[in-house]
Structure 1
Amino acid sequence: MAETVLNVQHLQVKFRVSKTETLTAVQDVTFSVREGETLGIVGESGCGKSVTANTILRLLPEKTTVIAGGSIDFEGQDLTKLSLKEMRKVRGSKISMIFQEPMTSLNPVYRIGDQMVEMYQANSSISKKEAWKAAAGMLEKVGIPSPELRMHEFPHNLSGGMRQRVMIAMALSSEPALLIADEPTTALDVTIQAQVLELMRDLQNQMNTAVLLITHDMGVMAENADYVLVMYAGEVVEYGSARSIFKNGMHPYTMGLLESIPRLDQDTDQLNTIDGTVPSLSQMPKGCRFSNRCSLCMDRCKEETPELKELEEGHQVRCFLY
């Protein structure tokens, strides 16, 4: 049995909007990730996926963010209890993150090599010459041609796919136990997207890294995730193996996401959509948070909040239909 790398239990995150008022962004989120496995978190924009990821790394502003409950256990220590100085030792070395837009993550005024060398030296006590050689080797490993030449270039000289490969190289340079990939292929065309995802899978297999993959694309999830966590309006609405979710998705929101995937075996003029939008933090509906968009909504859904229940082994659903 693979060892659990990350174990999040009943996480609750709130944002301060004034001295006396807070809004709940993430409510009672629980999941775990084992070494060598990929857990996918899927949902529309505003469902709490990135808030959850950034909370794990404690990247959200301390003044406006409150971890109101729960724990984030990483390799035996609760990250919610660490100081910012202690968290800096975890970030980059033990947990790395790939952001969705590399152009905003890479510094535009520094050469690629300088940024990579800085990261290597921050995580180990090696010389600049050794760090430069290691960085060039990592760029070659992620499939960038002429790595020594690319090291001297600025981010804007590279294509979107190349920049994302640089981000992957930087994220995996310290061989982290956990890699968080937040929409890593959103800005890329389909061909480059497939190449980047295949690269991530290959490197994951080589290093036995645990991966937390965040996306709104169910197609990406089907190809890459071992387990899937479906989030809606800050809550987990369904959790299970990728096979069980795609074969037997139970929550109406999950079913809506699955029905919106284009299919080659169906000839249709229009894709299915889910009516409405994700509610804002200040206007959460009473009862089930999906009730105002759900075609299967019952009277009790508008008044009572459903619990997350295990219906089959390892398959959990938050819905009164079951």
Structure 2
Amino acid sequence: MDTQKIPGVRAFTPVRGSWIAPLLALTLSACALQKPVNVSNEAQLTPPTPSATALLQLPPPQNKIVAAVYGFRDETGQYKPSPNSAFSTAVTQGAASMLMKALRDSGWYIPVEREGLQSLLTERRVLRAVAEGTQNGNNGVPNLLPASIILEGGVIAYETNTRTGGLGAKFLGIGLSTQYSVDQVTINLRAVDVSSGAVLDSVSTTKTIFSHEIHPSYFRFVNYYDLLEIEGGYTHNEPAQLAVKEAIDAAVMHLTVNGIKNNLWQLKNPEDWNSALIQRYLTADRNEVVTVTPRQAADMDATATPAQTQ
């Protein structure tokens, strides 16, 4: 159909999307060309936790303690939530290796291999066979180093979403929202005397795992026909294995300090008992002791049976 010009009226030429499409293409291409962070970099040592730094600063012992770890397993039975994986555990299965490293770093313990004991015994049989095949035949294999204590325990709890929350606001199409969640992991570590089987001490430590998300957005009509909407996001999840490592390092630290306090093992220099590091952990241990008020004690006595009060 032919159109005629009307005098005094300018012809309208639609320009919808003339500049929005290139802008969106440029934005998406910039996002797609972003290089992943810490992927092509070379491997680095695992960052030390605060408790691991404290272990390295422990005063030296009078005599090192030979400790055996037969297993430090995940006892939670927790799996990652769907749809991530129904067969992948929520907690690392390498807690025993973390415990061995913490014992070694403290300078108070001599950890001996027990988790891979069968492989060690097999290799020792190979050494004996090689020694018997030599001409002199006197190259005997020395005995294994016996342990004085056994360290038992494991990851006993993993609770998800112990705390959740968020906050958001929008004004004139510009908005920003944030959300967070807190998980919690608990481990137990106990020292067992090899000669008597008595539990010398038992320590439980808890570490929180913090995750948060920031989500900015922009929503605006650029004209009667076109809508511009831009969204972004940033998420940070604290690694669960580092939280487990921190809890294990703290447990080894508390177990060592409690052993010094209970005269299970001694410092090389008794004056080191007054060091700020040891006193700080003693204060933390005292703050965790549950005190019973006189009213609570009276209630406990009132509910006790005659057999219990005798």
Q: Which structure exhibits the higher relative contact order, with contacts defined as CA atoms closer than 8 Å and separated by 6 or more residues?
A: 1
Report the TM-score when normalising by structure 2: 0.19
For the pair shown, the structure with the greater C-alpha radius of gyration is 2
Report the TM-score when normalising by structure 1: 0.18
